[in-house]
Structure 1
Amino acid sequence: MSDKQPAAPTTPYGSPAGPHRPFEPTGVIHDIGYRHYDGVRAGRGHAVMALIAHSLRGVFGLGRTARSKIIPFLLVGVMLLPAVVSIAIMALAKREMMSYTSYAVTMQTVLAIFLASQSPYAVAPDLRFRVLPLYLSRPVTSADYVGAKLAAMTAAMFLLLAVPLTVLFAGELIVDLPGPPHTAGYLTSMAGAVVYALLLACLGVAIASFTPRRGLGVASIIAFYLLTSAVSTAVAAMMEEVNNYTAAGWAWMINPFFLVDAAVQVGIFDAKPSAPTVYPGGTGVAAAILLVIGLIALSVTALILRYRKAASR
């Protein structure tokens, strides 16, 4: 006979069974209240619209901290200031003080600062904290994401420019200057505002998307604006010194603000140029329009490729 004692029975978890612990698991399933969603699924389009609304609110600091609202609303006030002053002068002097079609070029520095300060917010946090896969885990595609961000930034830039123009036009109607109101100039400037907003938003978001750091995005956009502005001014001045005004007109279009002015407001609607020199006509207008379209297409393509690569990580 063997002296070994039989091993004590145990549960599947390794503890002794005992008289009150049978051979069965002791886990308990708790009902913590999760419920299935039985409502209507809004779908992909609703998700994209929600992303646009969220991004647009964020550009103006809505739904964010009070500090985030300072820069956008301060710049909105600066953009409105020339319109308000012009209305006051029109009421006193009874004459037009500021051209509608030159408003964007005159205020280009403010528009560039707004673009530089707010474009990185639209894209940088999602890249920095790597939450892009969460957006794309739903029916939203990378093209939808890019389109939503561009739509939000375009809408913000359009509002920043269209509101002062509308205030200025309303002031002109209220003051009732001698002669008919400058309706054609206002409508031309609004058409230009659409193209200004689209081109600037595409360029700004595309530049900002290549770095997850907001500070670097701001610096990159400011550097792009300063470079194009300085180069266009310097080259145009040199061409005017040698009396080559045709080349000077081409040089002004290195700056995106003068490019839109030449392509849309002057080239299509025959407005007065905002640059000191007349832009090249004929093929120059066609070239300016194609350049605007090409810059928009290049920016959108770069964004789509950038976010496809980011989503695959």
Structure 2
Amino acid sequence: MKSSLKIALAGLVCLSLASCRDTSQPNASLNAQPTIGDSMGVLSTKEAKQLFGAKETPSTQQAAAFGSYAKGCMSGAVELPESGPTWQAMRLSRNRNWGHPELIDFVKDLSRKAAAQPGWSGIYVGDLSQPRGGPMLTGHRSHQIGLDADIWMRPANDLRLTRSDREAISSVSMWRNRGAFVNEKWTPAHHAVLKAAAKDPRVARIFVFPGAKVQMCKDETGNRDYLRKIRPWWGHHYHFHVRLNCPAGSTGCVNQAPPPSGDGCADAQSWVNNILNPPPPDPNAPKAKPRRELQMADLPAQCATVLQSP
């Protein structure tokens, strides 16, 4: 396996500037220029997740995010320590507690704010990114550029968990009626932690199940501006997903379009309405096509260098 990986990585060498185009720009065409590895005929059809999933350490380059949240990679990643005064990283066997330095700083900052809530000593941190970002062998489609973090809904009231404890313990679900409402485990502290995360200027958006957003809209009595960043999405009842903006000066990083204006509460209510009264299926709707696995040719050209770096 090591020899085959070595051969594959050899194909990442860019033989000319023409064969190393930058696909990190939003309108870049994947077919307009020769793709990574085309000169050698090695990696144009290689699944990127196999290469990035095999990397156990970060690159030695300067920290940078390349591409978009679901199609990119990261250099110079920083590891979130397994444990800190107000956090613990969970599922350590996955080796996904890596991120851009700004993400690591954000997680630590949020953990301190969470520790001020009743019943919380901090936060349990789920998946960030792999050591060099990129597509994952299992799970997430995003989390590729070191700017996404999953924060468990379970209050971190015990920060002495062993490595084996962190493999066995699970978070707790906050939803009821398939996500239309919160359940009895939801507390004002959950509201406060999500609010603290959303008010951080580094945050672009937060994904959480629709019922939680609607409940926050009902309970908020002060400034509602931060609610714009909290977006309803499928699942996300065991954890909420924080996404940061591209750091300043990150020319190769592609931001997601900003959330629509307003607090987004009416939109969240429409999600709930559709959960409670789903529209009838459309018999003429085309069948969903299976998603194609990302190949190295789909990623920004900088990702080849990230893989090759010591």
TM-score by length of 2: 0.29
Q: Which has the higher strand share?
A: 2
* Higher helix fraction (1 or 2): 1
TM-score scaled by structure 1? 0.29
Bigger relative contact order, structure 1 or 2 (CA pairs below 8 A, ≥6 apart) = 2
Find the structure with the greater CA-based Rg. Answer: 1
